[in-house]
């Protein structure tokens, strides 16, 4: 185990004894802001970067059950609030980034970036995963929120997922057990996705590559991909609520370019929020709630957050629960 000089929280002392020490890295009071795409937010009370799924399972087994556990992936669709996160944050890294071909599919570690999986599939001549090239983030997070874009989503391609449960069990769950919905999957509470198998189809690599290039070009043309942003801010409404997409409702309510502190609604795509340089997490959350209120006042539609808001505000809670 490697620890930073700061002292472990009292509840984490069980992870540093003569009988048990993790092989991964434990970092008390780890700054999370620099790890997020928005570049905002407070610290994790304890950050754990496991060396393997077995290492993670042992830590989960030793950790008192009352200690909250929160897995974070690429942090592309989260706002970490300014007060930080209590308990243990889990961040998968090097030991969870392997991609291998498995017949007509791929087996990928949860830390693999979605784009990287799409690229590997293209090299292997496997079609059906091109849509991942248009989704920022990692595969573990994509499963947890049933991420989708450009005509497909994870529910359409997932075969099985391996998770480490809060009590330290390593389970393989079939995709059918996850009760997939729009931007939703049902996983065991506080479990951590560690590996997945994705179904695909054999196809000429040149055709797959062409589709990936089309998706990347379309995404760069329509979205502020080079800004400090976090992907789509709000879910598209259900058809019985509105036939218009979230960005259309936001635009119609006059919110394109709206600012709160250092946070701004993108002029390029108004379902994206930006950190223009000095935003706080509170700025971003207040901006999102302001947009929700204006859209509701204008259209009677209540937008639902797609970006996850996690942790403690610096002063007080804002908006609906994360």
If asked whether residues 203 and 268 sit together in one domain, one would say no
225-234 confidence digits (pLDDT tens)? 888 999 899 9
Question: What pLDDT score was predicted for residue 187?
Answer: 97
Average pLDDT (260-276) is 97
Q: Which of 242, 272, 234 is nearest to 256 (CA)?
A: 272
175-205 confidence digits (pLDDT tens)? 999 999 988 999 999 999 999 999 999 999 9
Give the CATH number of the domain where residue 203 resides.
Answer: 3.30.465.10
If asked whether residues 107 and 78 sit together in one domain, one would say no
Taking the C-alpha atoms of residue 211 and residue 38, their distance in angstroms, rounded to an integer, is 29
Catalytic residue among 127, 191, 232, 266: 232
Give the CATH number of the domain where residue 263 resides.
Answer: 3.90.78.10
If asked whether residues 113 and 181 sit together in one domain, one would say yes
Average pLDDT (26-32) is 97
User: What's the domain range around 284?
Assistant: 226-310
If asked whether residues 65 and 144 sit together in one domain, one would say no
294 belongs to the catalytic site: no
If asked whether residues 29 and 106 sit together in one domain, one would say no
**320 — pLDDT class (breaks 50, 70, 90):** very low
**6 — pLDDT class (breaks 50, 70, 90):** low
Residue 2 lies in a domain: no
If asked whether residues 234 and 303 sit together in one domain, one would say yes
If asked whether residues 89 and 108 sit together in one domain, one would say no
Side-chain-side CA neighbours of 3 within 13 Å: the count stands at 15
If asked whether residues 118 and 200 sit together in one domain, one would say yes
Residue 286 lies in a domain: yes
Q: Judge whether residue 319 has pLDDT over 70.
A: no
96-144 confidence digits (pLDDT tens)? 999 999 999 999 999 999 999 999 999 999 999 999 999 989 999 999 9
Name the token pair of 15: 């992870």
Domain termination site, one of 221, 249, 281: 221
Provide the domain count of the chain.
Answer: 3
183 belongs to the catalytic site: yes
CB-based contact 158:150 (threshold 8 Å): no
Q: What proportion of the chain, given as a percentage, has pLDDT over 70?
A: 96
If asked whether residues 213 and 297 sit together in one domain, one would say no
Catalytic residue among 45, 162, 285, 306: 306
If asked whether residues 214 and 233 sit together in one domain, one would say no
- Give me the helices (H) in the chain, please: 53-62, 114-123, 139-144, 205-222, 246-252, 281-299
Domain termination site, one of 198, 221, 244: 221
Maximum alpha-carbon separation in the chain:
62
If asked whether residues 51 and 137 sit together in one domain, one would say no
Catalytic residue among 21, 23, 101, 183: 183
Cβ neighbours of residue 49 closer than 8 Å, sequence gap 6 or more: 24, 25, 27, 90, 91, 92, 93
Question: What pLDDT score was predicted for residue 90?
Answer: 97
Domain termination site, one of 203, 221, 239: 221
235 belongs to the catalytic site: no
If asked whether residues 201 and 241 sit together in one domain, one would say no
């Amino acid at each position: 185990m490697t620890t930073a000089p700061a002292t472990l929280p009292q509840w984490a002392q069980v992870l540093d004894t003569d009988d048990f020490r993790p092989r991964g890295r434990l970092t008390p009071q780890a700054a999370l802001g620099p790890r997020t795409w928005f570049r905002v937010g407070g610290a994790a009370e304890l950050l754990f970067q496991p060396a393997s799924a077995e290492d993670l399972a042992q830590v989960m087994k030793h950790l008192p059950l009352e200690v909250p556990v929160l897995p974070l992936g690429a942090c592309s669709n989260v706002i970490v609030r300014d007060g930080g996160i209590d308990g243990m944050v889990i961040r998968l890294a090097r030991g969870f980034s392997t991609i291998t071909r498995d017949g007509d599919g791929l087996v990928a570690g949860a830390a693999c970036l979605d784009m990287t999986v799409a690229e590997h599939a293209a090299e292997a001549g496997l079609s059906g995963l091109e849509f991942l090239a248009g989704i920022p983030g990692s595969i573990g997070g994509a499963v947890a929120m049933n991420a989708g874009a450009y005509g497909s989503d994870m529910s359409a391609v997932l075969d099985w997922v391996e998770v480490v449960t809060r009590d330290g069990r390593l389970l393989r769950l079939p995709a059918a057990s996850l009760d997939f919905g729009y931007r939703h999957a049902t996983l065991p509470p506080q479990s951590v996705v560690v590996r997945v198998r994705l179904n695909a189809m054999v196809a000429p690599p040149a055709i797959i590559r062409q589709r990936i290039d089309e998706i990347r070009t379309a995404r760069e043309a329509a979205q502020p991909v080079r800004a400090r942003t976090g992907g789509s801010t709000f879910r598209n409404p259900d058809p019985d609520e509105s036939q218009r997409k979230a960005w259309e409702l936001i635009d119609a309510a006059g919110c394109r370019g709206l600012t709160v502190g250092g946070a701004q609604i993108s002029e390029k795509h108004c379902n994206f929020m930006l950190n223009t340089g000095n935003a706080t997490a509170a700025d971003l959350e207040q901006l999102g709630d302001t947009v929700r209120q204006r859209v509701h006042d204008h259209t009677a539609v209540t937008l639902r957050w797609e970006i996850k808001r996690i942790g403690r505000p610096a002063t007080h809670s804002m908006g609906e629960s994360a």
